[in-house]
Amino acid sequence: MLLQCCSLLMGLLWSSVPTWAAHSGQGTLNIDEQCPSEQLKTMAGFSLFVENSTGQMSQKVGLLYIDTDKLHRDHKTHTSALQDLYNGLGQPSARFLLRISCVLDSQKLNCSWNNTDVPANAEYTITGRFCSKKQGRRTKSRVLSSWNCTLYEEGTLTGCEGAVESTPEELYATVIQVNVSSHGLWYIHTERFATDNIEKLDPPRNINWSFTEGNRDLQVQWDRAMSRSVTKIKCDVYQINIDEAMSEVRGELSYIKQEIDRNRKYKVQLRASRHDDCRTTTTRPAYWSDWTEPIEVGPAEEPEPKYSLAMILAIVLGFPMVLLVFLLLSWKMQRVLFPPIPRPNKHVKQLLEKDFVTQPTADQHAEEVQFDLVSEVEMCSQ
């Protein structure tokens, strides 16, 4: 219990006003100097405390700087640093050298380290601070008081994850300090991480799509991924997944897939990262954002005709006129091909009907003649 309380107290003191002894001699590093420290730009700092004969924790190894790139990629450097750190301490119960990695996104910070050689009963305390810029000037660092770091273990890794508050300032680095206490040994590891090396960007936003003229090409557009650091657009790298066909663009916010099948549907997803040219170190690969939710596009529709005011007026007024002319021409052609049969006027019609009624038939004429002849004979006899 005494060791745990001492470890916690020393951790708080170390995070507030640390006194570090350089490997070449004694020296101090103020809390405000951790962010702009030239040594921490490329190296990690290590200190070691051991329990003396009186039961007090005394510093046996001052601040030992080790190149972080070599530490993470070179096993020989790791072994050499381990020997330098524990040199002259006899045979302590445990010898370990952490390799810390961090991931920062818009909502949380997650740092983890290997625990392969760390004693199982070891206790950890971790502190962090943001190094920010405002209007092009570096401000004082601020402790991540709202981090609420929660320790966890996953296999051979121990880590700390917690929410971080958003800030409008440009964040150019994060300083992490991990304290490990176990069996009369207190190990302190301080490392600074440039934002461009540990940031996991948010997925691209406001994704839009459209078919180009002729419906032969599919165009996808989006807005830049949100970042805690200020970078130029040429630093952005985007991967586009269209039905499992992967494409990559740099410094662009649009992509055109040519010669599509206009009669089918496509699923589109995007994710973002930072190009290696814009990162401080490339020892560890850049983090990719999460994929966006799939967007279903297509099939292509026939382009709708665009009607102007003049065209609308021509249709509204011209169509009835054309129809009227057509009807007139049809009526005229009908009269030429099928002329009407002429009919007599009323007076002619009455005259014809009268003559038809009074005109004698052949039999009537014979009778009348016969009658006349008889009359003449009778008249002669008399």
**Chain Cα centroid distance, residue 335:** 73
The CA distance from 29 to 65, in Å, is 13
How would residue 166 be classed by pLDDT, with cut points 50, 70 and 90? low
The CA distance from 184 to 199, in Å, is 36
- Pairing state of beta strands 108-114 and 123-134? unpaired
Highest mean pLDDT, choosing among 164-168, 212-216, 289-293, 372-376: 289-293
Structure tokens at 136: 């092009």
Cβ 101 vs Cβ 135: under 8 Å: no
- Give the per-residue pLDDT at 292: 94
- Give the per-residue pLDDT at 145: 56
Q: What is the mean pLDDT of the chain?
A: 75
How would residue 5 be classed by pLDDT, with cut points 50, 70 and 90? very low
The CA distance from 111 to 91, in Å, is 30
DSSP letters for 269-333? EEEEEE-GGGSS--SSPPPPPPPPPPEEE-PPPPPPPPPPHHHHHHHHHHHHHHHHHHHHHHHHH
Structure tokens at 380: 């002669």
Structure tokens at 5: 């309380």
At residue 308, does pLDDT exceed 80?
no
- Give the per-residue pLDDT at 220: 93
Cβ 71 vs Cβ 44: under 8 Å: yes
- Give the per-residue pLDDT at 91: 56
Summarize pLDDT for 6-39 with one digit per residue, the tens: 444 444 333 333 333 334 333 335 556 677 777 7
- Give the per-residue pLDDT at 28: 37
How would residue 374 be classed by pLDDT, with cut points 50, 70 and 90? very low
List C-alpha distances in Å: 172 to 52, 63, 154. 40, 24, 29
- Give the per-residue pLDDT at 366: 47
At residue 141, does pLDDT exceed 70?
no
Query: Other CB atoms closer than 10 Å to residue 334's CB: what's the count?
Result: 10
Cβ 180 vs Cβ 98: under 8 Å: yes
> Which residue do the tokens 């920010």 mark?
132
Per-residue pLDDT, averaged over 214-228, amounts to 86
Is the bond into 168 cis (omega within 30 degrees of 0)? no
Summarize pLDDT for 257-271 with one digit per residue, the tens: 888 887 888 899 999
How would residue 4 be classed by pLDDT, with cut points 50, 70 and 90? very low
Lowest mean pLDDT: which of 6-10, 41-45, 159-163? Answer: 6-10
Residue 120's φ and ψ, nearest 5 degrees, are -65, -30
- Give the per-residue pLDDT at 323: 83
Instruction: Express as a percent the part of the chain with pLDDT over 90.
Output: 14
- Give the per-residue pLDDT at 11: 42
- Give the per-residue pLDDT at 360: 55
Cβ 255 vs Cβ 220: under 8 Å: yes
Residues of the chain with CATH 2.60.40.10: 2-198, 205-297
Per-residue pLDDT, averaged over 68-74, amounts to 77
- For the chain, the C-alpha Rg in angstroms (whole number) is 51
List C-alpha distances in Å: 362 to 183, 351, 357, 371. 159, 22, 14, 14
Structure tokens at 31: 């809390």
Per-residue pLDDT, averaged over 54-79, amounts to 75
- Give the per-residue pLDDT at 239: 95
Highest mean pLDDT, choosing among 1-5, 93-97, 171-175: 171-175
Structure tokens at 253: 């916010």
Q: Is 226 exposed, middle or buried (0-12, 13-18, 19+ CB in 10 A)?
A: middle
Cβ 220 vs Cβ 294: under 8 Å: no
Residue 29's φ and ψ, nearest 5 degrees, are -135, 110
CATH level 3 topology of 2-198: Immunoglobulin-like (2.60.40)
Per-residue pLDDT, averaged over 161-179, amounts to 78
- Give the per-residue pLDDT at 307: 64
Cβ 106 vs Cβ 228: under 8 Å: yes
At residue 382, does pLDDT exceed 70?
no
**What is the reported pTM?**
0.65
Highest mean pLDDT, choosing among 179-183, 251-255, 311-315: 251-255
Sign of dihedral through CA atoms 277, 281, 285, 287? negative
The CA distance from 115 to 375, in Å, is 164
Cβ 107 vs Cβ 164: under 8 Å: yes
Cβ 211 vs Cβ 42: under 8 Å: no
Residue predicted with more confidence, 81 or 353: 81
Cβ 115 vs Cβ 156: under 8 Å: yes
Q: Which CATH superfamily is domain 205-297 in?
A: Immunoglobulins (2.60.40.10)
